Amino acid sequence: MSYTNFTVETDADGIALVTWDMPGKSMNVFTEEVMNELDAIIDATVADSAVKGVVITSGKSSFSGGADLSMIKSMFTLYQQEKAANPEGAAQKLFDLVGRMTGLFRKLETCGKPWVSAINGTCMGGALEMSLACHGRVASNAKSVKIALPEVKVGIFPGAGGTQRISRLTDAQSALQMMTTGQSLNASRAKAMNLVHQVVDPDQLIPAAKQMIKDGLKPIAPWDEKGFKVPGGGIWTPAAAQLWPAAPAILRRETSGNYPGALAILKCVYEGLQVPFDTALKIEQRYFTQVLQTTEAFSMIRSLFISMQELGKGARRPAGVPKTELKKVGVVGAGFMGASIAYVTAAAGFEVTLIDRDIEAATKGRGVGEGLVKDSIGKGRLTQEEGAALLARLTPSADYADLKDADLVIEAVFEDRAVKKAVIEQVEAVIPETTIFASNTSTLPITGLAENSKRPDQFIGVHFFSPVEKMMLTEVILGKNTGDRALAVALDYVAAIKKTPIVVNDVRGFFVNRCVFRYIHEAYDMLIEGVPAAMIENAAKMAGMPVGPLSLNDEVAIDLSQKILKATVADLGPKAVDERHLALINKLVDELDRRGRKNGKGFYEYPAKPAKKFLWPELKILYPQKPADEIDVNTLKQRFLVTIALEAARTMEEGIVTDPREADVGSILGFGFAPYTGGALSYIDGMGVKAFVELAEKLASSYGDHFKPTPLLKDMAAKGETFYGRFDPYPAADKAA
């Protein structure tokens, strides 16, 4: 029998090699068709008496990334349709649906013939759950091998047997750590945790897997054998008595109870380890069904899985523009930001010329890349040879003529219009007519900068975030005259350096900075009201933000906040900012020289390592303090989330952001907006626009007009609309398909 996604070859020893290699895809993923074919392969190999065992591997450089987008989408679509048609039976339909993969893997595990998974690269999610159902697992020692159950990062958890098999192969503490964080393991770490049996050189992967079968691998999972004992002794042991009372408290400390999927992992493991394996799978299936019905799971999967992939694959790329084959990129400005941009560009395989005012400054910028390469080699992410090749692609220069053959030039100089004007003119004097010019400005409108260009249609903004090598987002900013080809080139470049782009129309602060400073300014309001600084920071973290607003302001620099406030006053007048905010920042910067982390003192004090930073004690004397027990923490949490969500809604209303996916993904990747909400607009949609408007009006009555809902929000509330309904990002053709 032939298959679309698999090939099956049985050797002279009776070992069937099943190679998973989906046509037209860069990575294998689970689809309905894949599961049907795997089901048929299990039946065929069981029925064939000549087959003594099965090795399953991948025909691609990676093993598999888990479930396919379309399958995840269809699960939510089916549930919503069933809920509308048959509310009482909808949960049962969903329960049956999510049990398909669980049942398939259990069928493999109990088929009576030994299966070995030969893991040659990335093996995540459902692919790892399938591998865990195999009786043997061999992994390549290549550094490309990453083994993980990352589902918690998109709002769900390993629901095809993962929670039960992991916790029966390794100790409960390690199992919980792996699953509640979604951490990736290399092959040796997976072996140390007993998740794989052997780690071998890549060319020995298939022979080693076949040898396991030849050596008499038993076709029985450990938990199906009589007398099986859970590693560490199970739930009712002295060790477990120390782990389990602490585990929920630790999880609450890390997540503030915002992630139903993470809590479900604890429940699945705790309850599942006390019952027979098949009963444990039903427990897991029940919790998975419950979690899939939560707003958090729906919103996180949509934004952090589906939308991120769609945007990363060019959802906003103009149709009809040929794909760009970039070879050489110029970066002008070898400060930390420009040097980091040059590094990630060279790491993506491009030739890079890094320009600064003199060769010493340019060479110093290349030194930033050298430091990053050294760090990557030390952590095993690069070999010495790969690091040397990367640096060989990064050439420092003080001569603009070296940009004459660049396909793309990125300007990353000081945020000063005059300085940028001089750079634009010098670059355009030497580059070809076809070269695209991109400005990495963080606040200055692109349209104004493009006035200095002779070719504004080829002028675009590409705004990176620091640290560039870690931050996954870029804002691609369209000036009024930016053409489709400039947008296409910018998006092709962003995809090549493996970042996620959002396309933003031109305005001061673009999207991310507008939202970030609403977050920071709300903290200023709270300080001025007398809310203790520690409560401000802790309430923000409890709301789901990864970093408190005062800590974040220290990171971006308090004097930068001052420059932005003063520039806003200069451009828009004194009423454009809150004079109390400017007074606070002027006092910190001009009187107290507290500029943030960069000079070791801001809202926090930064003592010498290894001591940790701590809030500046004298913050409490800047404004009269309220007693902590008079302050409602829930209201503080709401203020942070609502003020950011309102700003995101304003950008949609103003046409700055036109696709709700970009507002959601941008808010999470750009500054960590409470990921469990699915992003700033999903936070509104998840609550319901009418309920959000009522909450905003309530906050406005107590804390200021900046909480007043916009006309768009009021209109949507009256019509019962959502952002994803009113600004539907999917073309009609997609729906028809």
- Measured CA angle at 44 (ends 39, 46), to 5 deg: 95
What residues are paired with 604 via a beta bridge? 615
Two tokens at 733? Answer: 């053709």
Q: Give the CA count within 13 Å in the CB-facing half-sphere of 566.
A: 11
Element of type H or E holding 128: helix 126-133
| CB 27, CB 63: distance < 8 Å | no
The b/e string for 494-532 (b: 16+ C-beta within 10 A; e otherwise) is: bbbbebbbbbbbbbbbbbbbbbbbbbbbbbbbbbbeebb
Task: Tell me the residue type at 48.
Answer: D
Two tokens at 244? Answer: 């389990």
581: left (phi over 0), alpha (psi -120 to 50) or beta: alpha
Which of these, 353, 327, 324, lies nearest to 341 by C-alpha position?
A: 353
- Exactly one of 463, 521, 581, 706 is catalytic; which is it? 463
First to last CA, the chain: 29
Does residue 394 sit in helix, strand or coil? strand
Phi, psi of 464 (to 5 degrees): -90, 160
Q: H helices of 349-436, where?
A: 359-378, 384-392, 417-428
Can you state the angle between helices 579-586 and 558-572, rounded to 10 degrees?
A: 140
Does residue 364 sit in helix, strand or coil? helix
Strands (E) across 106-178 are located at 115-119, 123-124, 136-140, 147-148
Which of these, 472, 646, 637, 632, lies nearest to 543 by C-alpha position?
A: 637
Burial of 203 (0-12, 13-18, 19+ CB in 10 A): exposed
Query: 230: which DSSP letter?
Result: -
d(CA 464, CA 524): 26
| Backbone Cα Rg of the chain | 28
Phi, psi of 510 (to 5 degrees): 55, -130
| CB 307, CB 387: distance < 8 Å | no
d(CA 500, CA 667): 12
Whether 463 is catalytic is: yes
For the chain, helix (H) and strand (E) counts, in that order, are 31, 18
d(CA 437, CA 460): 6
Pairing of strands 459-464, 436-439: parallel
Two tokens at 591? Answer: 């009187």
d(CA 130, CA 123): 10
Element of type H or E holding 437: strand 436-439
d(CA 359, CA 732): 54
Peptide bond connecting 231 to the previous residue in cis, omega within 30 degrees of 0: no
Two tokens at 273? Answer: 């380890």
Does residue 413 sit in helix, strand or coil? coil
Two tokens at 627? Answer: 């007693």
Which of these, 578, 587, 537, 521, lies nearest to 559 by C-alpha position?
A: 587
Catalytic residues: 463
